[in-house]
A and B are shown apart, each in its own frame.
Chain A
Amino acid sequence: MNGINFIKDIVLPPLLEGTWVTIKLLVFSIPLGLLLGILIAGGRVYGNKIISFLCASFTVFFRGTPLLVQLFVIYYGLPSIGIYFSPFAAAVVGFVLCSGAYHSEYIRGAIQSIKSGQMMAAQALGMSKFKAIIYIIFPQALRRALPGCSNEIVYLVKYSSLAFMVTCIELTGAGKIIATRYFRYTEVFLVIGIIYLLMVSVVTRLLSIVEKKLKIPGLG
């Protein structure tokens, strides 16, 4: 079978199915990871001592250990204490925790870069601290954190391939199966690479549109 037909008939159908799984992984992991990052960063900067300590520990733990180890613990380890995840769910949980830890650091830095006068002015108007955080601090901090967070999201697109290690057959996993069956690694992984490149390009484009939409003169 020649190269083109092999790719078109044998390789692409399972790869596209895998791509669909990857996209679903990302659709859950990206927003939830970002949300977790916001909560952890907020807890770390504005929480009391205990909350701040817990949030800092979370970040240390999930930034300090390999994602693959985290996935193994979630999928293979947790069942021993009675917590079961499907492969897909285990992957999403791992991605959310890990990318949340990274996002939280970008966001924390951004929060701390906002001048203290912003909070003071909000409180002087009679805003509670909580409202000031939601309406004044976060809208500014998130804009500043966006370039860093975009970076993390692009990483996530690529490290979503680790889901395969907990038997969630996404793009890389599907490719591995095909490549092994036909022993045609070069073509298969070349196609996989191109598909990741396409996904990253789309995500990058979307993020830069968001960045432009949210742009405010003098901020960021």
Chain B
Amino acid sequence: MQKDNTIVLRVEDIYKNYGNVEVLKGVSFEIKKGETKVIIGPSGSGKSTLLRCINQLTIPDKGRIWLENQEVTHTKKNINQFRQKIGMVFQDFNLFDHLNALRNVEIGLIKVRGMGKDEARQKAIEELKQVGLEEQANLYPAQLSGGQKQRVSIARTLAMDPSVILFDEPTSALDPELIGEVLEVIKKLALNGMTMAVVTHEMGFARSVANEVIFMEDGKIIDQGSPRKLFTNPEHARTRKFLSKITELYGRSAEKK
């Protein structure tokens, strides 16, 4: 795993309220180049909101985000320039329903980066190859399986050459037998040195790929450390309880991956 000590993403003391509900209560962490950080925690703990705060799809009430030493929050630059560099993969894929797989991947290149059509097509085909879907290039989202959709959406994100990719429960909407193919792709990215933050319930994946696991609950980071430390010897009773529950729930399939 290629890793150096440059910090790609720095999240500093993020707060977010929805009305009276405090969703995030001061979350800070950083991701170094080539690192895979896995964020786990019960639903409603603020993981998805945290990811959306990073690319400002949700504007945090307080705190700062830095991408490669440039501040994303309170910036004078156009937020869209940062968003190009912060890839995002969603739980329910959000492929553009009116575009086939290929055009889903190339539209960002053409409309956002202003790339020429031929060049964009070349690159889009390359990215689809990366996720093993060049043969499905002409199929529309409705004609793809869930796993294929998620792989196209990963290709769409990769095409923008992001500095970091945020995965928001990328396998939670998938049938069990389709989870593997998507995790395979994400794992491959990790091995190739992509910088990533992955919110997931797949503990087997967390164990085998993460450089660090963050356990979040109730809008705060409760525990944080190497997967070995967190899974075998968590600092907090709460972390242990959550992990045993999730292992029970997902059983051996989670262990296997």
Residues of A within 8 A of B (CB): 115, 117-118, 120-128, 131, 135-136, 139-140, 143, 216-219
Asked if A218 contacts B111 (CB within 8 A), the reply is no
Q: Which residues of B contact A125 (CB under 8 A)?
A: 83-84, 107-108, 112, 156-157, 160
Tell me the bound Cα distance from A143 to B97 in angstroms. Answer: 11
Asked if A117 contacts B90 (CB within 8 A), the reply is yes
- Give the interface centre of A115, A124, A136 by most chain B CB atoms within 10 Å: A124
Q: Which residues of B contact A118 (CB under 8 A)?
A: 94, 96-97
Asked if A126 contacts B80 (CB within 8 A), the reply is yes
Interface: B256 (CB within 8 A): no
**Least Cβ distance of A165 to chain B in Å?**
41
Interface: B98 (CB within 8 A): yes
Q: Which residues of A contact B11 (CB under 8 A)?
A: none
Asked if A120 contacts B94 (CB within 8 A), the reply is yes
Residue of A with least CB distance to B156 = A125
Asked if A128 contacts B142 (CB within 8 A), the reply is no
Tell me the bound Cα distance from A139 to B111 in angstroms. Answer: 15
Neighbour of B96 across the interface among A121, A123, A217, CB < 8 A: A121
Interface: B115 (CB within 8 A): no
Asked if B90 contacts A140 (CB within 8 A), the reply is no
Asked if A121 contacts B90 (CB within 8 A), the reply is yes
Q: How many pairs, one residue from A and one from B, have CB atoms within 8 Å of each other in the complex?
A: 75
Tell me the bound Cα distance from A36 to B160 in angstroms. Answer: 35
For the A-B complex with A127-B108, A136-B96 known, give 8 more contacts whose Cβ atoms are closer than 8 Å. A124-B86, A125-B107, A126-B160, A136-B98, A217-B142, A218-B140, A218-B141, A219-B140
Neighbour of B98 across the interface among A121, A124, A131, A219, CB < 8 A: A219
Residue of B with least CB distance to A116 = B94
Tell me the bound Cα distance from A61 to B189 in angstroms. Answer: 56
Asked if A120 contacts B83 (CB within 8 A), the reply is no
Interface: B81 (CB within 8 A): yes
Interface: B199 (CB within 8 A): no
Q: Which residues of A contact B143 (CB under 8 A)?
A: 217-218
Q: How many residues of chain B get a CB closer than 8 Å to chain A's CBs?
A: 29
Q: Which residues of A contact B88 (CB under 8 A)?
A: 121, 124
Tell me the bound Cα distance from A83 to B88 in angstroms. Answer: 54
Interface: B239 (CB within 8 A): no
Q: Is the interface of A mostly helix, strand, loop or mixed?
A: helix
Asked if B98 contacts A120 (CB within 8 A), the reply is no
Interface: B49 (CB within 8 A): no
**Least Cβ distance of A8 to chain B in Å?**
50
Tell me the bound Cα distance from A112 to B16 in angstroms. Answer: 27
Tell me the bound Cα distance from A219 to B108 in angstroms. Answer: 21
**Least Cβ distance of A212 to chain B in Å?**
15
Asked if A123 contacts B160 (CB within 8 A), the reply is no
Q: Could you list some 27 contacts between A and B, CB below 8 A? A: A117-B90, A117-B94, A118-B96, A120-B57, A120-B90, A120-B94, A121-B88, A121-B90, A121-B153, A122-B96, A123-B57, A123-B80, A124-B55, A125-B83, A125-B157, A126-B83, A126-B160, A127-B80, A127-B112, A131-B112, A135-B107, A140-B97, A143-B98, A216-B142, A217-B142, A218-B143, A219-B140
Tell me the bound Cα distance from A126 to B111 in angstroms. Answer: 9
Asked if A218 contacts B96 (CB within 8 A), the reply is no
- Give the interface centre of B80, B98, B157 by most chain A CB atoms within 10 Å: B98
**Least Cβ distance of A126 to chain B in Å?**
4
Neighbour of B111 across the interface among A121, A131, A143, CB < 8 A: A131
Neighbour of B142 across the interface among A115, A126, A143, A219, CB < 8 A: A219
**Least Cβ distance of A7 to chain B in Å?**
49
- 0/1 string, B141-152, CB within 8 A of A gives 1: 111000000000
Interface: B92 (CB within 8 A): yes
Q: Which residues of A contact B87 (CB under 8 A)?
A: 124
Q: Among residues 78 to 116 in chain B, which have CB atoms less than 8 Å away from a CB atom of chain A?
A: 80-84, 86-88, 90, 92, 94-98, 107-108, 111-112
Asked if A219 contacts B97 (CB within 8 A), the reply is yes
Residue of B with least CB distance to A115 = B94
Residue of A with least CB distance to B144 = A218
Q: Which residues of A contact B57 (CB under 8 A)?
A: 120, 123-124
